[in-house]
A and B are shown apart, each in its own frame.
Chain A
């Protein structure tokens, strides 16, 4: 059976009442999380991981994927209605979504965003089913040298793309994450690094408490610091878009779906860039680019298609290389490990059906956002009317319980608090969070593979730069660094005779 046949079979297999019930409530919860300013997909998945870790692996991963898809989509509501992106991935949606809402076309904008997200999810799911098996096979060629460069490249490209104006800050965040991952017992000789006799530190800094802190507690502090946002009472207009309006944008949807998925595949870049790149491409291709940012429906569709297509895209490297494509995908990766699933190049050998099961989960989650998004447009506005003073203490209680739940260690609560304060400080100084998260996830991979590679080469760095795949990854890393340095960019711009 080909990849598409496997996908169809997995979709049919998942169409069980209990699974669909889980899809419905988890997607709805995800949409609510995404709608609330301050709550992100990363936090939603991290908290839900701690709650579902006693469930069967399949059910838990289905719920987490639905939360992921729902949250990325749900953020579009806030972007359209309040001009505040519900999640960072929806920032591009606000550019045209909010002007449409101000023009009394909020309902239409939400309908178009819903269809864009749905089709983005479908394109991404299709690409996942087609690309993941090939990438996993390609990944079998990776040895320690290649995984070392993959970790470095992931942090460097993530730092560059998530801090476009200030890549040094992105790289600092990434390498800080790599360092934090070195705390605790290392994986080769079981030596306790940076533990100083503390049993808790010897166990390492837990990824989930760290993420709950950096994305939960830090966001609570950010939200409480800001002036309150105005709640919405009227959405105006019809929600269901005309078929011809959607059909007329098939090319934008297809292009944004492919671009979004591609951006998702790049380690640590994720949904934000998926949306921005798709938006920029739509603007470049438009006959009326000057209307973008003033309520152009094509811009809104491109952004929403792009960010939801990036979700399956970010899961592709999770499944095939055990390297996350975005911060929420990093949590998903951690959740898979907790549930005994071992993603990586061997996935198509050890459990080949799992890739298609994940694709089927993404498919049903996309169907759920389409149905729930169109049916519950008005009732879901209630979520935006909850005062933040009521919501934030509840979120903090969940952060504390979620941090504690995985290992029943009070130390994890302290880790959450520490990362919350660190995350808040870093945000105030405009450091991106995605490279930090990616660094924490990739720290272990970097450490083991660097030292194994050095042992295999007997201390020589030559294989790190002469093996073909290593050489390509090394070159990409160097190019990314040079591209991030303003003097280099300016020199190249001068040489080719145009401003950088």
Chain B
């Protein structure tokens, strides 16, 4: 039995909708008969098959998650012992996600690569180690790491590996 029946329920709905959507989209794809090609080489054939299987698997997961939810409702679920830890983990996750997205989607392209990278590393280290040491020492560590990483990655990739940077 699944350990995540609630998530399974919603994900099964998403997978079923995706599968049906893929089937519908595949049927809409041209058969290219006007080009004189064999109808069995139509571009929608394989995606249609995959969409059909995905929808079937989604339905199977949906039915199973319904049974699991019923079972979970009948047996009163005890409150999770590590709720506080989970909340802290959730906060760390959210902050990491936001910082990474800001770096990749906002800073890169607006600022030179080395500057965007230095700012990202500095902010990441500073935020996640804030409570551990004195502010000045912390800022110095974060700044040194940020400068070293930005310089090393820029030089290494551009000069040694001859790779273009974003």
Query: Do A and B assemble together?
Result: yes
Which residues of chain A have a CB within 8 Å of any CB of chain B? 50-52, 54, 166, 168-169, 171-172, 175-176, 178-179, 182, 186, 188-189, 191, 193-194, 217, 220-221, 224-227, 387, 389-390, 392-394, 396-398, 400-401, 404-405, 408, 410, 413-414, 416-417, 421, 428-430, 446-447, 450-452, 454-455, 458-459
A481 CB to closest chain B CB, in angstroms? 11
B71 CB to closest chain A CB, in angstroms? 15
- C-alpha spacing A276/B103, complex, angstroms: 40
User: In the complex, which range does the number of interface residues on chain B fall in?
Assistant: 35 or more
Q: A172-B54, A182-B47, A224-B93 are in contact. Are A430 and B166 (CB under 8 A)?
A: no
Q: Report whether A221 and B93 are in contact in the complex, using a CB–CB cutoff of 8 Å.
A: yes
B40 nearest in chain A by CB position: A454
Q: Report whether A451 and B45 are in contact in the complex, using a CB–CB cutoff of 8 Å.
A: yes
- Which one of A51, A220, A414 contacts B157 once the chains associate, using CB atoms below 8 Å? A51
Q: Report whether A459 and B46 are in contact in the complex, using a CB–CB cutoff of 8 Å.
A: no
Q: Report whether A429 and B47 are in contact in the complex, using a CB–CB cutoff of 8 Å.
A: no
Q: A390-B145, A446-B46 are in contact. Are A225 and B41 (CB under 8 A)?
A: no
- C-alpha spacing A414/B49, complex, angstroms: 28
A452 nearest in chain B by CB position: B41
- C-alpha spacing A217/B93, complex, angstroms: 12
Q: Report whether A417 and B4 are in contact in the complex, using a CB–CB cutoff of 8 Å.
A: no
Helix, strand, loop or mixed for chain A's interface? helix
Q: Report whether B47 and A428 are in contact in the complex, using a CB–CB cutoff of 8 Å.
A: no
- Which one of B3, B89, B149 contacts A227 once the chains associate, using CB atoms below 8 Å? B89
Which residues of chain B have a CB within 8 Å of any CB of chain A? 2-4, 7-8, 11, 15, 18, 22, 25, 29-30, 32, 35, 37-47, 49-51, 53-54, 57-58, 60-61, 64, 85, 88-90, 92-93, 95-97, 99-101, 103-105, 108-109, 117, 120-121, 124-125, 128-129, 145, 149, 153, 157, 161-166
Q: A172-B61, A179-B50, A397-B117 are in contact. Are A389 and B125 (CB under 8 A)?
A: yes
A370 CB to closest chain B CB, in angstroms? 29
- C-alpha spacing A390/B18, complex, angstroms: 39
- C-alpha spacing A194/B47, complex, angstroms: 10
Q: Report whether A404 and B165 are in contact in the complex, using a CB–CB cutoff of 8 Å.
A: yes
Q: Report whether B15 and A172 are in contact in the complex, using a CB–CB cutoff of 8 Å.
A: yes
Q: Report whether A225 and B89 are in contact in the complex, using a CB–CB cutoff of 8 Å.
A: yes
Q: Report whether B92 and A405 are in contact in the complex, using a CB–CB cutoff of 8 Å.
A: no
Provide 5 A-B residue pairs closer than 8 Å at the C-beta atoms, listed in order of the A residue: A169-B2, A189-B35, A389-B125, A429-B8, A451-B45
B68 CB to closest chain A CB, in angstroms? 11
